[in-house]
Amino acid sequence: MPWLPDDVWEAQKAERSAAKGSGGDGGGKGGGGGGKAGWLPDHIWEAQKAERAAAKGGGKGGWQGGWQPRGQPVWQPMFAMGGGWGKSKGKGKGKSMKSFPPSQRVWVGSLAEGTTWKELQEHMDGAGKTKWCEVFENKGKGTGAVAFETDAEAANAIATLNGSVLKGSTIECDGWTKKEEQAS
């Protein structure tokens, strides 16, 4: 389509509108009626777009003078999400034997090789509800630790399960005491 001066173009546009009897040239950029698609200069199209947006009441958040996200952006660095720079503890992590007072902890010795924490927990549940159970490896091989909900349950476990048999081995149960540091 050749370029036309604005006054000529406006006159042709008015003739087309009068011939159709409608208020616009339809779809495409601009357009308001139900006719054929037509091209509009950008400044006219932008003005019509602004009028339609004002009449419609804006929108939910898409294009309004630039893209505005509706929720959080797709990616954010970890420190911006409030997690800090360190790693997250994740679900269920962060608990350990240290999170229980010594009066609720029970040391278990003479465990059979290959005993799992689950087997130890099932055995110790006979004396009270266990909250944490651990079987040590390497330096503490053959030993474990169990934490109970209350001091009374821990004392009951020591009294009733000391000398009991787990996986063919007689286990020892004792109160939790901190290992004394050796002077060198």
Query: What is the C-alpha to C-alpha distance for residues 114 and 137, in angstroms, rounded to an integer?
Result: 10
Q: At residue 72, does pLDDT exceed 60?
A: no
Q: At residue 113, does pLDDT exceed 80?
A: yes
DSSP-assigned letters across all residues of 26-61: -SSSS--SSS------HHHHHHHHHHHHHHHT--SS
Range among 8-12, 33-37, 96-100, 103-107 with highest mean pLDDT value: 103-107
The pTM assigned to this predicted structure is 0.47
Confidence (pLDDT) at 30: 47
Contact (Cβ atoms closer than 8 angstroms) between residue 79 and residue 88: no
Confidence (pLDDT) at 108: 92
Residue predicted with more confidence, 21 or 170:
170
Lowest mean pLDDT segment, chosen from 23-32, 71-80, 117-126: 23-32
State the average pLDDT for the chain: 76
Query: What is the C-alpha to C-alpha distance for residues 127 and 131, in angstroms, rounded to an integer?
Result: 12
Contact (Cβ atoms closer than 8 angstroms) between residue 145 and residue 136: yes
Confidence (pLDDT) at 25: 46
Q: At residue 130, does pLDDT exceed 80?
A: yes
Q: List residues bridging with 147 in a β-sheet.
A: 105, 132
